[in-house]
Amino acid sequence: MWKGRFQQSTAPLLSRYSESVSFDWRLYACDIHGSIAHSKALLAAGILDAAEQQAIESGLAQIGAEIESGAFAFDPALEDVHMNIEAELTRRIGPAGAKLHTARSRNDQVALDLRLYLRGETDAIIGLVKALQQSLAGLAGANLDVVIPGYTHLQRAQPVYLAHHLLAYVEMLERDAQRFSDLRKRIDVMPLGSGAIAGSTILLDRALIARELGFSAITQNSMDAVSDRDFACELLAAIAITGMHLSRLSEDLILWASTEFGFITISDAYTTGSSLMPQKKNPDVAELTRGKTGRLYGNLLSLLTTLKGLPLAYNRDMQEDKEPVFDSVDTIKAALEINAAMLAEIKVDAARAAEAVSDPMLLATDLADYLVRAGLPFRQAHEVIGRLVAHCLQTGRKFPELDLGAYQSFSPLFGPDIFDVLDVRRALDARQAQGAPSLPNVRAQLERWRPGAERHP
């Protein structure tokens, strides 16, 4: 494609080093879609006649079908998916194929392909996030009455409904979906027509191309259009954040599935065993999800680092954008899909959960609140209950095992109704503030996440 300038052929070593078709072939559908739209703009500009444009469109459709079926042989010597398709098109239809690249550079062509590809993949990711939300909500709804200890610092803190805990991840995923939806607007900008750096003296109707490809906006600076990949960085950042949320969920599931917790059982279909220890059942989906999150972080940092020192406009370094992008897209889609499937088959051990939540220490804050309602300032109430906790630990007695006299030895504000506070369900029912885990609130939140329900922040 540059033989007019060069006196020597490209060294085979360089061809192997620089080729990208081994991974960018997956842009073929976007490349063909973009080239058909470009041919229509060339037709409107008088560069192609109707017969030439139709030959290009038909030829590209045939090539696309062959790639889809696996019958097309990509040639690494042609470097990338763009030249492979164009060269084969020209071989098949002759001079009309050689006209296709008029007023176009691979710089704006690849920017277009990547935006088309990521626009579709972003939509797919949003759909998978929604599916995972429904799987979490389904598990929550199926175990609405199950209460577990809530943890801070991985220490038992206060009782919560399991459903409330699971719905926390639904909220996180909703923000993830919103991030993907918002960044999609910045992906959805059409760069074709920017040329290599400064557009072209052959004027094409860029609005026509944008309409053909369904873009909502057109780039306004040719140098920016071909030289930045901030839209890809933003997508990788959103993917990394989603991965972080999945990793935290995975850690909870790993703990809950352990013998020490025993709150859940993960289906055999989504666990593995040990090659040595016959009794083992390992939560590999959760562990792999937790591990793959590191790759998502690394891909984001890789692309940011690649871009950070590049002068305007296009530089070949930018070829290195695709592998981290493809890897992150594939990884997050797989993680979202398999976690949704795994969650749908998790079984909850309500008895083990009830045993864990029967720890009276979980209600220490409720005892402090009791004293506050009786008129004691919270800091003093906190100190009183702290001394009461220390007494129980020293004597080996639990809150329900103390009589009223023992309570009143710590504060005269304790009355006979103090024992009502020590009921877990009653304590949860008292948590009625918006966002708190009372049963009516949890029911309302499950209704909010019902498919088709209207949702507000």
| Per-residue pLDDT, 319 | 93
Q: For residue 124, give the nearest of 428, 285, 334 by alpha carbon.
A: 334
Q: Are 257 and 283 in contact (CB under 8 A)?
A: yes
Count structural domains, the chain: 3
Average pLDDT, whole number, for the chain?
A: 95
Domain, as residue range, for 401: 359-422
Domain assignment present for residue 450? The answer is: no
Angle at 398 between CA 396 and CA 401, to 5 degrees: 110
Q: Band the pLDDT of 290: cuts 50, 70, 90.
A: very high
Last residue of a domain, one of 355, 382, 400: 355
Residue 1 has pLDDT above 80, yes or no: no
Instruction: Give the pLDDT confidence of 195-216 residue by residue, as tens digits.
Output: 999 999 999 999 999 999 999 9
**Phi, psi for residue 97 in degrees, rounded to 5:** -65, -35
Q: How far apart are CA 93 and CA 71, in angstroms?
A: 19
**Do residues 241 and 343 both lie within one domain?**
yes
Contact 222, 196 (CB under 8 A): no
pLDDT digits (tens, 9 = 90+) for 365-423: 999 999 999 999 999 999 999 999 999 999 999 999 999 999 999 999 999 999 999 99
Q: In the predicted model, what is the mean pLDDT of residues 146-167?
A: 97
User: Under 8 Å CB-to-CB from 407, ≥6 apart: which residues?
Assistant: 388, 414, 418
Write down the pLDDT at residue 13: 83
17: CATH: 1.10.275.10
Average pLDDT over every residue of 37-53: 98
Q: What is the pLDDT of residues 28-38, one digit of tens each?
A: 999 999 999 99
Q: Are residues 327 and 411 in the same domain?
A: no
pTM of the model: 0.94
Write down which residue in 298, 325, 355 finishes a domain. 355
Answer whether 56's CB lies under 8 Å from 93's CB: yes
Residues 93 and 132 in one domain: no
Considering 314, 339, 355, which residue would you say is the last residue of a domain? 355
pLDDT in tens, 229-246: 999 999 999 999 999 999
Residues classed as catalytic: 153, 274
